[in-house]
Amino acid sequence: MNVKAADLPGIGRKYCLRTAAGDTLIIIVHLDGRRDLFHMKADDPDEMHSVVTLDDKEAGTAAAIIAGLIH
């Protein structure tokens, strides 16, 4: 998986992940701990398909589920 990261001065850090299916997931980690997740589909990479905002605790729970730590 290709992951690109960049600092966003005054905002936080941006991570871009390209999936095997060609979709793009952009994660913005704000300085206050909030995370914004943006999903772009491979067939329309310039249009956001969905957006989710998670606080620090929600992001930790989601990460644990994705990592298989919570069943």
Give how far the C-alpha of residue 45 lies from the chain's centroid of Cα atoms, to the nearest Å: 15
**Domain assignment present for 71:** no
Question: Cβ neighbours of residue 49 under 8 Å, at least 6 residues apart?
Answer: 39, 40, 41
**Domain assignment present for 18:** yes
**Domain assignment present for 16:** yes
The number of folded domains in the chain is 1
Note every long-range contact of 46-51, with CB atoms under 8 Å and residues 24 or more positions apart, other chains counting.
none
- CA pair distance 62, 32, nearest whole angstrom: 18
Taking only the tens place, the pLDDT of each residue in 13-25 is: 999 999 998 999 9
Find the domain containing 38 and state its range.
Answer: 2-66
Taking only the tens place, the pLDDT of each residue in 34-53 is: 999 999 998 887 888 899 99
The pTM for the full model equals: 0.86
